[in-house]
Structure 1
Amino acid sequence: MNIDTITPLILTYNETPNIERTLAKLPWAQEIIVIDSFSEDSTLEILKSHPKIKIFQRKFDTHAQQWNYGLEQVKSEWVLSLDADYVLTNELIETFSSLHILAIDGYFIPYKYCVFGKPLHGTILPDRLALFRKARATYIDDGHTQLLELQGRSTRLDAYIHHDDRKPLSRWLWAQDRYMVIEAKKLLQTPDRELSWGDRIRKRKIFAPVIILIYCLILKGGILDGWQGWYYAFQRTLAETLLSIHIIEAEYLRKSADS
């Protein structure tokens, strides 16, 4: 693959603590497309200091709509979709140039979650279909996040992206609360037979926070990561607890409306 045929596409909203580290790994890009949701901090100032970046502002409605708008702005054959707290590893950048793309339309990339810069042994983040041919891809909403629908063949890369979010805890809590309202709605509106086993457990409310704590610390090796592993485990447990609370609240309001 010619690395010049790849355009990084990034979504931003108040990403001052993160965006510079993300951009520092993209000097190879001929052009970078950023879709900003009207940031109110210094994100735009940082972006404007990089001549390769083209900034488009759009009011946020859903992740899928925002990503699809971004795809419309990309002119290259290939897109590398990145959140503003994703940092490419050197190994991944080297991998791009050695890819044989004749029969492949997209690549799943694994992630390592970082806590204050330290990569953890394991996290609950799934691989993401982040490198793909623009003409073969469309985003759809999936709960609080999005999925990429790819027409064609895909495979998985071995090199990692680091997910290294340095925003303050208050911002994380604000985002998680918004996300879990949407996620609760999705779980309650979807029949159990159409849910994954993990989502079925989450829908039961009581068990998910406890299970996720054990999963992060024991099964994913977080206990080996010191206080950073505990931090991540508590963070994910808190997110699942917020989801359980929103499900309980939504069920109560629905019953009250029916009575």
Structure 2
Amino acid sequence: MISAIVLTKNEEERISGCLESLSWCNEIIVIDDNSTDNTRVLAKEFGARVYIRNLGDDFASQRNFGLRKARGEWVLFIDADERVPVDLINEINSEFKNPKAEGYLIKRQDIFMGKKMVGGEWGETWLLRLARAGKGRWRRRVHETWKVAGRVSKMHSPLLHSPSESLSEVLGKINRYSTLHTESNQEEGKKSGLTKIIFMPLLKFIINFIVKSGYKDGVHGFVFATLMSFHSFLAWTKLWVKQELE
């Protein structure tokens, strides 16, 4: 039995497509962060079990709540702007006839501003999204990771990620996530200063555009690398501001 878990917040434009791609799962659980649109209505119409829970800027806690509600032997985490294509469905069903691992990494095919990315962080993104229930928990408030005990293998078919966002929406998300990243760094006892504010964003750009071959995506790759660098700048600057005000 496979339980699919989806976190939502005002996703009425994308939730139906997401849930439709999960119709092969034995149960679908939606953890909704107080949506003010029709997200919950659409999810219930699709037959999903819907829980209303305040995110509280803690994605790991939200996902762990979903784990506690899941009834399946296996749990699959999907975001509202992601889709599970037929090839991945077939591979999962085939693997589960004789599973060889406790968790599975799935490669995500990302689309940025209408282009499939081949370089940068989004060009080679492997995410642990499928695992046996009871084998681990999610950690970190943002950029959360699923720590699973036991062998972890890989699925060869990709998960599709198609965020339909304008540049202003991307910048808004970067601002929000940089704040969450700052809080996580502070909780972990990390410190910021001039060196990190200058060089961490520069390093982020170099990694995305050069090391991870973001240049192969042309202007898309340059813009993406710059945005990720800006995210790093905001995160370390916000941490420095917090330190100065303490």
- TM category, shorter: 0.7 to 0.9
Task: Provide the C-alpha distance between the structure 1 equivalents of 2:48 and 2:227, rounded to a whole number of angstroms.
Answer: 33
Task: Provide the C-alpha distance between the structure 2 equivalents of 1:200 and 1:124, rounded to a whole number of angstroms.
Answer: 23
Does structure 2 conserve the Cα–Cα contact (< 8 Å) formed by 1:106 and 1:155? yes
TM-score (norm 2): 0.84
Of 46, 55, 59, 2:50 maps to: 55
Show structure 2 runs of 5+ residues with no match. Answer: none
What's the secondary structure of 1:113's corresponding residue?
strand
The 5 Å alignment of 1:1-259 reads: 5-50=1-46, 52-61=47-56, 62-99=58-95, 101-124=98-121, 126-140=125-139, 142-188=140-186, 190=188, 204-254=196-246
Does structure 2 conserve the Cα–Cα contact (< 8 Å) formed by 1:136 and 1:150? yes
CA pair 122-90 structure 1, distance change in 2 beyond 3 A: farther
Does structure 1 conserve the Cα–Cα contact (< 8 Å) formed by 2:138 and 2:146? yes
Structure 1 residue 122: deviation in Å? 2.5
Structure 1 residue 117: deviation in Å? 4.2
What's the secondary structure of 1:111's corresponding residue?
strand
What's the secondary structure of 1:38's corresponding residue?
coil
RMSD: 2.8
Structure 1 residue 220: deviation in Å? 2.6
Task: Provide the C-alpha distance between the structure 2 equivalents of 1:16 and 1:31, rounded to a whole number of angstroms.
Answer: 20
TM-score (norm 1): 0.81
Does structure 1 conserve the Cα–Cα contact (< 8 Å) formed by 2:26 and 2:72? no
Q: How big is each residue's C-alpha offset from its partner over 1:163-215, in whole Å with a ceiling of 9 and x where there is no partner?
A: 222244444434332332232243345467xxxxxx99998121122232233
Show structure 1 runs of 5+ residues with no match. Answer: 193-198, 255-259
Task: Provide the C-alpha distance between the structure 1 equivalents of 2:227 and 2:243, rounded to a whole number of angstroms.
Answer: 25
Does structure 2 conserve the Cα–Cα contact (< 8 Å) formed by 1:177 and 1:242? yes
Task: Provide the C-alpha distance between the structure 1 equivalents of 2:195 and 2:40, rounded to a whole number of angstroms.
Answer: 39
CA pair 129-84 structure 1, distance change in 2 beyond 3 A: same
Moved more, 152-161 or 162-171: 162-171
Aligned AA for 2:185? L
Structure 1 residue 249: deviation in Å? 1.2
Task: Provide the C-alpha distance between the structure 1 equivalents of 2:85 and 2:192, rounded to a whole number of angstroms.
Answer: 35
Task: Provide the C-alpha distance between the structure 1 equivalents of 2:192 and 2:102, rounded to a whole number of angstroms.
Answer: 32
Aligned AA for 1:47? A
Does structure 2 conserve the Cα–Cα contact (< 8 Å) formed by 1:144 and 1:180? no
Structure 1 residue 15: deviation in Å? 1.8
Aligned AA for 1:130? R
Structure 1 residue 96: deviation in Å? 0.6
- Sequence identity (%): 27
Task: Provide the C-alpha distance between the structure 1 equivalents of 2:89 and 2:230, rounded to a whole number of angstroms.
Answer: 34
Task: Provide the C-alpha distance between the structure 1 equivalents of 2:41 and 2:159, rounded to a whole number of angstroms.
Answer: 25
CA pair 120-187 structure 1, distance change in 2 beyond 3 A: same
Question: How many residues align structurally?
Answer: 242
Q: How big is each residue's C-alpha offset from its partner over 1:38-69, in whole Å with a ceiling of 9 and x where there is no partner?
A: 1112322432332x322111112221221121
Aligned AA for 1:216? N
